[in-house]
């Protein structure tokens, strides 16, 4: 019995020691679990091992547009405005948007970074390579800018990759690419899906800036900003001494020497919102001629002012809203005819005529014009846009919207262009009315259906009219869009575009 007890005890000890030895390589490591971050709203979670919260979001969108070569603005110039066999019956775009939002609590307040990235594939669009070639929308150097349709099928570079926003916010400062402080919260969209609405500054796709915003409580804030004008706020400083553009000369920018200075005051409360914005914009031309000794005009500062109003909780129904804004510019045209509506600052639109081969409407809206030896003449514009959105029920809503922009040249500019021997007058038939002023009017209607949360189908139709001030006939050549060189009647022109959209937000 004693012998058996001793042997059993030794065997038990050996078994325990063996088990402990076997456990050593399998010692559990520390695990950091993803945790929900409730500090900044729904959808945030802590990056493991840090005190930084992150949120991923975005949308997938498919747009099909009828009667346009562009997904932005409709047919108002170039091959699109030709209204012939180079004009698309439709254009199709598929897009994936990805946004990344990080936030960290600090003793100076929240440190935030934000990026909004988008990936586009847009169907074929004619480019002006006579006798005609259809290319993908990424028009540029070979091979993608010159290859015929389908030559680049499947290639990543045949689509486009872009950055809407990429900025840092810290202690009241915003540094990087985001919406201009001049813009209202609804940007270019008071009630529409249509991108090309005139009548107010937008930069929905962002602009590089350095901005400080002060919060005073009760929804009252003020911002001061320096922003880069080169991408979105340069409409042209046109040298009338360089032929081109129907007597409007050629844009003759020098280097960028000063940012635009923007100020904003906003009141954002339960009843709605009121905002006032101002901007100063430097127009810095290059030279009168091709070389430095030809001289140059002095810089001219332009400016813009805008008022915005949003009215909520209106008696027509819960969630209904009215958004309105009005703007005036003097040498700062893009604060009215915003960057996505830029085609309405260079309109060339054809139609039918009973007195000539066809009719033609045209108008250009640069920031300034000048002639050799003269100073820059600022172009004045004013305009407004607005929209009313009504919710029929939780699944359906509709909006009616519109925009208007007026472009005016001063007396000196008109004399250079329409006086005896003027750059535009020499192109017209003697006795014609020569006046570069014009107006753009737009009206639209959109209906949206949301059958399940974050999935929306919509249809948006927009009518636009060019109200030009020229009258008579003009002799016009092809410019690569198959128009014969002959006389065209000068008159107002119209365009209608239909946008069908499916969008899933995530």
**Residue-wise pLDDT tens digits, 97-152:** 999 999 999 999 999 999 999 988 877 555 554 454 444 444 333 333 333 333 33
Q: How far is CA 478 from CA 26, 221, 351, 352, 425, in A?
A: 79, 53, 15, 17, 20
**Given this model, what pLDDT does residue 149 score?**
37
Range 189-196 average pLDDT: 95
Residue 366 has pLDDT above 80, yes or no: yes
**Given this model, what pLDDT does residue 106 score?**
93
CA-to-CA distance for 424 and 410, rounded, in angstroms? 15
Residues 6 or more apart in contact with residue 330 via CB below 8 angstroms: 302, 303, 304, 378, 379, 380
Strands 300-311 and 272-283, how do they pair?
A: antiparallel
- Give all strands of the β-sheet with 368-370 in edge-to-edge order: 250-251, 237-239, 368-370, 377-378
Q: Is the peptide bond before 143 cis (omega within 30 degrees of 0)?
A: yes
Which residues on adjacent β-strands are paired with residue 104? 111
> For 260-294, b where at least 16 C-beta lie within 10 A, e where not — what string?
bbbbbebeeeeebbbbebebbbbbbbbbbeeeeee
DSSP output for 116-161:
EEEEEEE--EEES-TT-EEE-S--SSTTTTTPPTTTTTT-GGGSEE
* CA–CA–CA angle 59, 61, 67 (5° rounding): 155
Per-residue pLDDT band at 154 (split at 50, 70, 90): very low
Per-residue pLDDT band at 14 (split at 50, 70, 90): very low
- Tokens representing 448 are 């949206």
- Structurally, at CATH architecture level, domain 231-506 sits in Beta Barrel (2.40)
**Given this model, what pLDDT does residue 290 score?**
92
Tokens 């830029």 appear where?
A: 342
| Model confidence pLDDT, tens digit, residues 289-318 | 999 999 999 999 999 999 999 999 899 999
Candidates 237, 245, 304; CA nearest to 276 is 304
**Given this model, what pLDDT does residue 419 score?**
95
| Model confidence pLDDT, tens digit, residues 346-363 | 999 999 999 999 999 999
Residue 496 has pLDDT above 70, yes or no: yes
Per-residue pLDDT band at 481 (split at 50, 70, 90): confident
| Model confidence pLDDT, tens digit, residues 428-467 | 988 999 999 999 999 999 999 999 999 999 999 999 999 9
| Model confidence pLDDT, tens digit, residues 379-437 | 999 999 999 999 999 999 999 999 999 999 999 999 999 999 999 999 998 899 999 99
Q: Model-level pTM?
A: 0.87
Strands 380-393 and 321-330, how do they pair?
A: antiparallel
| Model confidence pLDDT, tens digit, residues 257-284 | 999 999 999 999 999 999 999 999 999 9
CA-to-CA distance for 486 and 136, rounded, in angstroms? 31
Task: Tell me which H or E stretch contains 64.
Answer: strand 53-66
Mean of pLDDT over the chain: 87
CA-to-CA distance for 206 and 338, rounded, in angstroms? 12
- Size of the chain, expressed as the number of residues it contains: 506
């Amino acid at each position: 019995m004693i012998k058996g007890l001793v042997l059993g005890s030794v065997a038990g000890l050996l078994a325990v020691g063996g088990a402990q030895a076997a456990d050593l390589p399998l010692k559990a490591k520390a695990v950091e679990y993803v945790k929900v971050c409730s500090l900044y709203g729904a959808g945030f979670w802590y990056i493991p091992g840090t005190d930084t919260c992150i949120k991923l979001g975005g949308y997938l969108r498919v747009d099909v547009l009828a009667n346009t070569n562009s997904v932005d603005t409709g047919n108002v110039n170039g091959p699109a405005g030709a209204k012939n066999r180079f004009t698309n019956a439709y254009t199709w775009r598929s897009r994936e948007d990805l946004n990344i939002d990080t936030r960290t609590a600090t003793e100076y307040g929240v440190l935030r970074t934000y990026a909004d990235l988008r990936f586009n594939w847009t169907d074929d669009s004619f480019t002006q390579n006579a006798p005609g070639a259809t290319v993908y929308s990424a028009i540029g150097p070979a091979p993608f800018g010159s290859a015929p349709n389908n030559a680049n099928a499947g290639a990543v570079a045949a689509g486009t990759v872009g950055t809407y926003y990429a900025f840092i916010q810290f202690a009241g400062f915003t540094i990087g690419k985001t919406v201009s402080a001049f813009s209202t919260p609804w940007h270019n969209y008071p009630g529409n899906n249509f991108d090309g609405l005139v009548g107010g500054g937008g930069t929905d796709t962002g602009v590089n800036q350095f901005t400080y915003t002060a919060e005073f409580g009760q929804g009252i804030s003020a911002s001061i900003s320096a922003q880069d004008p080169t991408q979105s706020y340069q409409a042209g400083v046109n040298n009338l001494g360089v032929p081109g553009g129907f007597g409007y000369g050629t844009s003759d920018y020098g280097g960028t020497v000063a940012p635009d200075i923007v100020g904003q005051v906003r009141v954002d409360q339960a009843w709605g919102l009121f905002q006032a914005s101002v901007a100063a914009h430097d127009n810095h031309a290059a030279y009168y001629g091709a070389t430095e000794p030809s001289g140059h005009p002095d810089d001219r500062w332009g400016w813009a002012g805008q008022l915005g109003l949003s009215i909520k909780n209106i008696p027509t129904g819960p969630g209904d809203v009215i958004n309105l804004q009005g703007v005036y510019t003097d040498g700062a045209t893009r604060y009215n005819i915003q960057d996505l509506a830029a085609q309405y600052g260079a309109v060339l639109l054809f139609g039918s005529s009973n007195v000539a081969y066809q009719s033609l409407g045209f108008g250009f809206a640069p920031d300034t014009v000048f002639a050799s030896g003269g100073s820059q003449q600022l172009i004045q514009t004013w305009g407004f846009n607005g929209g009313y959105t009504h919710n029929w029920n939780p699944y359906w809503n509709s909006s009616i919207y519109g925009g208007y922009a007026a472009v005016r040249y001063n007396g000196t500019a008109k004399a250079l262009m329409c006086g005896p021997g003027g750059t535009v007058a020499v192109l017209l038939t003697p006795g014609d009315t020569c006046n570069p002023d014009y107006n753009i009017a737009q009206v639209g209607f959109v209906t949206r259906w949301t059958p399940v949360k974050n999935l929306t189908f919509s249809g948006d139709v927009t009518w636009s009219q060019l109200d030009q001030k020229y009258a008579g006939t003009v002799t016009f050549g092809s410019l690569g869009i198959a128009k014969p060189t002959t006389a065209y009647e000068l008159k107002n022109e119209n365009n209608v575009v239909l946008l069908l959209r499916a969008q899933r937000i995530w």
